[in-house]
A and B are shown apart, each in its own frame.
Chain A
Amino acid sequence: MATDDSLSFGRYTRELNVHLDEISYNEMIPAIELDEQGNEKPHRPSSIAAGRGDIYRLLKPYLSVRFNDQFRAVTPLAIYLVLFQIFILRQSIADSSIITAGLIAVILGLMLFMEGLKVGLMPFGEALGISLPAKAKLLTVVVVVFLLGIGVTFAEPAIGALQTAGSLVDVRQAPYLYFLLTQWAGTLVLSVGVGVGLAAALGTIRFIYGWSLKPLIYMTLVPVLCISIYMALDPELSKVLGLAFDCGAVTTGPVTVPLVLSLGIGIARAAGRGSDSLSGFGIVTLASLFPIVAVMILALTLSMSYSPSEIIAASTMAQAGSMQIPWYESSPGVEIVGGVRAIVPLVIFLLLVMVLLLKERIPHAKIVSFGIFLCVIGMIVFNLGLSYGLSKLGGQSGGLVPAAFTQLETVADSPLYVLSLGLFIAMAFAWVLGFGATLAEPALNALGMTVESLTSGSFKKSTLMYAVSIGVACGISLGVAKIIFEIPIAYLLVPGYLIAIVLTHFSNEEYVNIAWDSAGVTTGPVTVPLVLAMGLGFGNALGAVEGFGILSMASIGPIIAVLTTGLYIRRKISKSHVVFDDSLETVSVV
């Protein structure tokens, strides 16, 4: 016990370091102000001007946390690609300084965008979700959700990667694919958006009436598989299949998922269904299946209106004529226009609904508009980083990996390894890339925690994360194999989805929801462009017609993996129950 007659060293040093002052709080209270009638005016505190040192100390932890989040997602992948290229493929990195700058731009852009989403767009969406069902009829709500689905698709950062990918496709080899990605790029994104919008609307109705997800999955997959088989039989249309399935994976990114979910959950809560723990799931699944159908229908429409030869002729004409590219179609103008075009229409739409339909004021208008400003800036920086960093690095690595097993003009003394070892290296490269990228995805961590609490711990977070990552890794490996051996994508996807349907039939509702949603969650803003660019680079180096399809394999992989794990867990649990019951019986017999 401390006594007062001794002075501890700690107390002594404290007296040297700290100068203690006392102020009465009474001296700090504001004076009461009165208006003309002598009534008391409500007190409005003046704003505080923080000093320069304080601003630094306030902002430093705030910024560093957000920077580190994105840094952790991007850097390990970039380092992996660079190390692989240098040590296994023994190639130096071309344009390394531009790529580094691009990667920094990706990190900064994502950081700004995510923060803008959090303080700007999300509160907007939540406010809508709460007040919309209270003030509008169900039909109006569904229409707004549908339009919002279209809007968020344009705002999705990864959708830009699709358009970048278009420039890598050769018009003569895959005319429909080329046309969809260049001339009809806007229509393509729009049709994806319509798919997402329909999914969001249907998901909302499902929330309200509490429908099961299983019949919806069957109902969507039957047309998907039928059209796939039809398209796979047509030599020209089959080249678009990979793109169609990849579109499904691209849509469910960091904008769509939280914004549509926040609106949907708000509506479900207003309808009195919010207590259902699984109500948040399902929309993501539908949002990754519907766009597939939408893009397929678009491709069919295209094939009916133009013949391949017409497209080839038209595009060669266009290439010859377009010597003078306007500023908004060349870099960096295209990125800036793209960033503004992605966010502004969505914001205007939300604003119109808020002001005209609900007649409500925007909460915290100043902070919300700052958030939207951050979103636009972040999107522009991210797009720039995408073009100069991620896509470039992914394309380069993808283009060089085939040198492990085949002869490439760009790589001296290729093939670097004997055929079997080289093929193994290429597949292992894809596997590790998929595994690492998925495990690093922040959305997966969040999903894992939700799932663990939903299943009361029987489906552990780490189990889910590894199941999904292994599923993605195997999917990406298979996708690479598809490009190497030129397997038609339908041969992989149709059986894959058939297996998924069978597993869905035997699984219970909870695991079905989790499994189908996990596919959508894994494909974030870093993974998508990297894998897309890698696949296209890979395809180009091998002279394959198109490099799409890897992403779609990466989304069917985790569905099967998680469903299988779910069935295994259920068997294990029911087995332990049987043992328990037996012991009970013996006890009662004795």
Chain B
Amino acid sequence: MTTRDFTVLTDVSMITCIIQRGKADAIVQAAQDAGAQGATIYYGYGSGVRERLGLLGLAVDVEKEIITILVADDQVDRIFERMYFAAELDLPGAGIIYLTKLEKAATYIPREIIEKVGRAP
């Protein structure tokens, strides 16, 4: 019987950031500059604050982009904060960012890193 190696990552958090359509790239760039490895962007549609802004709400697009980034717990606060400012979320209607603690994740991990940080097989 052959055994196969399976390494899961722990201490992972997920940052989800919802912003207006077309703004994701700059925010992902800010997150990557701060050490995030990858990002997934998908499209959505939604509003909330927009309706409460009156005519000014026209300046807020109802089409949204949703970024999800998986980050290590040690870097999460730093990236969370960088993304908040890159997305200018201190503006009404600009969007929201939130953090979810994940139990585990699994993906490709370079062999030399497993050897370096992983437990001996």
Chain A positions near chain B (C-beta within 8 angstroms)? 1-2, 10-11, 14, 18, 45-48, 50, 54-55, 57-59, 61-62, 119, 366-367, 370
Contact = CB atoms under 8 A, between A and B. Distances in A.
B92 A18 contact: no
B121 interface: no
Interface string B75-93: 1001001000000100111
B58 A55 contact: no
A47 B78 contact: no
A18 B91 contact: no
B78 A58 contact: no
Contacts of A61: 59
B75 A2 contact: yes
Contacts, number: 45
6 contacts: A1-B74, A14-B78, A47-B53, A48-B53, A50-B53, A367-B55
B12 to A, nearest CB: 14
B1 interface: no
Contacts of A119: 58
A47 B52 contact: yes
A50 B78 contact: no
Top 3 A-B pairs ranked by shortest CB distance? A62-B59, A48-B52, A58-B59
Given A2-B75, A10-B78, A370-B58, A58 B93 contact: yes
Nearest to A371: B58
Contacts of A54: 91-92
Interface of B: 49, 51-60, 74-75, 78, 81, 88, 91-93, 117
Contacts of A11: 78
Contacts of B60: 58
B25 to A, nearest CB: 14
Contacts of A366: 55
Contact of A45 (B52, B58, B75): B52
A2 B74 contact: yes
Most buried by A among B54, B60, B74, B88: B54
Contacts of B75: 2
B81 A14 contact: yes
Contacts of B51: 45
Nearest to B34: A10
Contacts of A370: 55, 58
B78 to A, nearest CB: 7
Contacts of A1: 74, 117
Nearest to A58: B59
B74 A50 contact: no
B81 A58 contact: no
A61 B53 CA distance: 17
B35 to A, nearest CB: 9
Nearest to B51: A45
A54 B55 CA distance: 14
A10 to B, nearest CB: 7
Given A367-B58, A370-B55, A58 B91 contact: yes
Contacts of B92: 48, 50, 54, 58
Contact of B52 (A14, A46, A55, A62): A46
Contacts of B117: 1
Nearest to A59: B59
B75 to A, nearest CB: 7
A50 B53 CA distance: 7
Most buried by B among A45, A48, A62: A48
Contacts of A58: 56, 59-60, 91-93
Nearest to B49: A48
A568 B91 CA distance: 53
Nearest to B22: A65
A57 B81 contact: no
A92 to B, nearest CB: 41
A374 to B, nearest CB: 9
Contacts of B55: 366-367, 370
